[in-house]
Structure 1
Amino acid sequence: MSSLPASPSMVDGASLVARYRQVRARTTRLAAPLSAEDAQVQSMPEASPAKWHLAHTTWFFARFVLEDPAAVPDCWDVLFNSYYVGAGERHPRPRRGLLTRPSLEEVLGWREAVDARVVRGLETGAFDPARRQVLLLGTHHEQQHQELLLTDIKHALWCNPLAPSYRPDLAAVAHAPGAAAQALRWLSRDEAVVEIGAARWPDAGAGFAYDNETPRHRVLVPAHAIAHRPVTNAEFATFVAEGGYATPTLWLSDGWDHVQREGWRRPLYWHEDGAREFTLGGWRERDPHAPVCHLSHYEADAFARWAGARLPTEAEWEAWAAGVDVEGNFADDDASLHPVAPRDAPAADMPADLFGNAWEWTGSAYAPYPGFRPLPGVLGEYNGKFMSGQLVLRGGSCATPRDHVRASYRNFFPPHARWQFSGLRLARDPD
């Protein structure tokens, strides 16, 4: 594997030790409520077992930081490689749930062994600056898997007729409807040339950013208006009640095919009784004022058409988000692991709830920025090779760690994906 270039802006050793320990401990805590059976299940090809997430994130540090073949037990390299073709063979993703061995106990023991070696390497100065940059990247990679662990186990528990909760305390959390959502307002901006994206990491002075966020560049953003808050459950319920899922003229062709083939009639996890939704705390009454979530891009786009609007481009979204602090309902809050009614906007002329609660679909294809260069070596497979057939989401969700997102962060999924905490915000062109 080619190393990342060294950088004077690299996180210092003590800070990196603290971050590594914090991130690794949080993943273990997220898995703690799960039985060995829970951690083994794979409910669909797109999801992965919790045990696999625990092992794969450990494999990343063993393979790319320790770079010692002995750090990965025999044959586990194939089991827990995800999509790094340059790193060797991989077990098929749809069959990860068949990996009953190694056991959950063995995987957790491996995590402890790798953690001890990584921390010792940091504390003794055994890792050069380039290796520390890879380690920092690995902590952000693990935070992505923390969110996936939550969304994947939510889907698995929803598939269980017993509808169990992920954590008993979440089932007991009171979820009275939040404050009534304000009437939707439109915030307008004139045409302007703006800068979006992040400086290349790990260039000197640059904060952490994935390669797909770079380079920072100028774009022309046309005059437009954006909704001051996300679309709510109540608003989407009206779309459902007025036949949105039965009106082909609202849907992209592929989206309509999915509606017909999969029998979509409401967002994922909405109960057919019209009142409840499935959460990580089990079934509960749906808050009409909270942002709607678990929508595919097709559903978000269809709603926007029905509302006489459209989805914002990622450049429009980022131009607004650049002036907003990264605050909101994140996984760190740990109160509900579910969207809540939006907070007030930071200012009357700024949008509310851009960060946290639910990822917001944009109308932008996931494509390289002008001058994009993937990371060198095998790590270059991390983002760039997926720039086909995906759409961009922005802002983070209630399952995202707060320090994992920023205005330039580009999440991406195929348009049919709906098991993530994904919602929408409307935009429109001038009259």
Structure 2
Amino acid sequence: MSKELITKYKEIRAYTETICKPLKPEDYAIQVVQFASPAKWHLAHTTWFFETFILKNYLDNYAEFDSNFNFLFNSYYNNVGDRILQTNRGNMSRPSTDEIYQYRAHVDASIEKFLSDVPDKNIIDLITLGLNHEQQHQELLITDVKYMLGHNPIFPVFKDNSSLIEDKNKSNESINIKAGLYNIGHQGTHFCYDNELGVHQVYVESFEICNHLVTNGEYIDFIEAGGYLDFNLWLDEGWSWVNKNNINSPMYWHKIKGEWYYYTLSGLKKVDKNAILCHINYFEANSFAEWKGMRLPTEFEWEIAAKQINWGKRWEWTNSAYLPYPNFKKENGAVGEYNGKFMSSKMVLRGASVATSKNHSRLTYRNFFSPTERWQFTGIRLAK
């Protein structure tokens, strides 16, 4: 088990650094907006996780890399101590990016040495949690880099031939699901987050769900029909968001000489009408569904249908608030802060996206974001 775990650890840690390879030195420290963290911070925070929860607690005579790093790179774990404000993550010109990479090497060497002996189950579970945590940040790293470059006035290319949003549907059909009682929640011995646990039954009425996601062309029809101008289509909070922020299209879309363009990681491109829609928030998804005379599926309907539908290209908004399952239990201490304390004012997204790391998706995965957020690779699946 130790050799397998070390191999997995090395692979996942290396991929984070691979994502960063196209970055210029000036890119690493930029924080364009509060919810998007600098690349340098992601590199350090994922390392801090292993140092804080494993090395400091379990490795005798571990030499901490820098005593300031707990304050600088703790994200939201109140049990671990004070931390900088999230809005200040982009103010750190020091420590340098080189020092952050040295920090990663220091922690990696200590973890690999530590794992040379067969660890007990509790430590294996913590390492596994840390690796899944890093995979979450790999996707956030990609989306945060896109937000940074997508708000650069010259729309720079991050990586040629890697737009990540050119994929298309494989089906235009719908699937019918019968009414009945269904089991919801993670079963089995493979890794999952605590918010997936608590297998329970739900009753659903019969419903129909699309085996495809909404395309850019379909969404352009919504725009041209006045979808962003008709308050009847919008939830009240969504309508306030549209007007306060002068929203008239998905994130990264620009109308240039009468044609729609969008920023991609491969630069500015003309919108492909046949490609799957991306970067919309819950309010936009809900309004489009209203316009179509349909609705978003609940997270339970999505999970029930997931074995039959094509998924994995976009995080899919559901019509479910992010709430605990029956018998949900938070762990004691800092690890218990991982998911449970965010169960308010969030909506559930299901599936995965083209930016999701390899082997980091499953039918029961519950992602969650605020209904205004759209910098992730989000899309729309309709139901009725």
User: Above 0.5 in TM-score?
Assistant: yes
Superposition deviation, residue 132 in structure 1: 1.6
Q: 1:406 maps to which residue?
A: 362
Q: 2:295 maps to which residue?
A: 310
Superposition deviation, residue 169 in structure 1: 5.2
Match of 2:216 among 233, 238, 246: 233
Matched, 1:272 2:272: no
Unaligned runs of 5+ in 2: none
Superposition deviation, residue 179 in structure 1: 6.8
Q: Report SS of the residue matched to 2:75.
A: coil
Matched, 1:393 2:346: no
Matched, 1:198 2:177: no
TM-score using structure 1 length = 0.85
Superposition deviation, residue 276 in structure 1: 1.6
Q: Report SS of the residue matched to 1:193.
A: strand
Q: 2:143 maps to which residue?
A: 151
- C-alpha contact (below 8 Å) 1:367/1:388 kept by paired residues: yes
- C-alpha contact (below 8 Å) 1:181/1:289 kept by paired residues: no
Q: 1:209 maps to which residue?
A: 192
Q: How far apart, CA to CA, are the structure 1 residues paired with 2:146 and 2:199?
A: 36
Match of 2:273 among 288, 294, 300: 288
Superposition deviation, residue 186 in structure 1: 2.7
Matched, 1:351 2:309: yes
- C-alpha contact (below 8 Å) 2:177/2:305 kept by paired residues: no
Q: 2:124 maps to which residue?
A: 132
RMSD over equivalenced CA pairs, Å: 1.7
Match of 1:82 among 66, 70, 75: 75
- C-alpha contact (below 8 Å) 1:59/1:72 kept by paired residues: no
Q: How far apart, CA to CA, are the structure 2 residues paired with 1:370 and 1:133?
A: 23
- C-alpha contact (below 8 Å) 1:304/1:310 kept by paired residues: yes
Deviations 1:159-214 (A, max 9, x none): 1111111124547x9x9x777875x4332112111111114xxxxx6110000001
Match of 2:5 among 9, 13, 16: 16
The count of corresponding residues between Structure 1 and Structure 2 is: 378
- C-alpha contact (below 8 Å) 2:317/2:380 kept by paired residues: yes
Deviation >6 Å, runs of 4+: 177-181
Matches within 5 A, 1:28-427: 28-67=17-56, 70-125=63-118, 127-168=119-160, 170=162, 184-199=172-187, 206-273=189-256, 274-321=259-306, 323=307, 350-352=308-310, 354-355=311-312, 357-427=313-383
Q: How far apart, CA to CA, are the structure 2 residues paired with 1:298 and 1:275?
A: 21
Unaligned runs of 5+ in 1: 1-11, 200-204, 324-349
Sort the Cα spacing of 1:365 and 1:282 in 2 relative to 1 into closer, same or farther, 3 A.
same
Q: How far apart, CA to CA, are the structure 2 residues paired with 1:52 and 1:197?
A: 33
- C-alpha contact (below 8 Å) 1:194/1:218 kept by paired residues: yes
- C-alpha contact (below 8 Å) 2:219/2:277 kept by paired residues: yes
**Identical pairs, percent:** 43
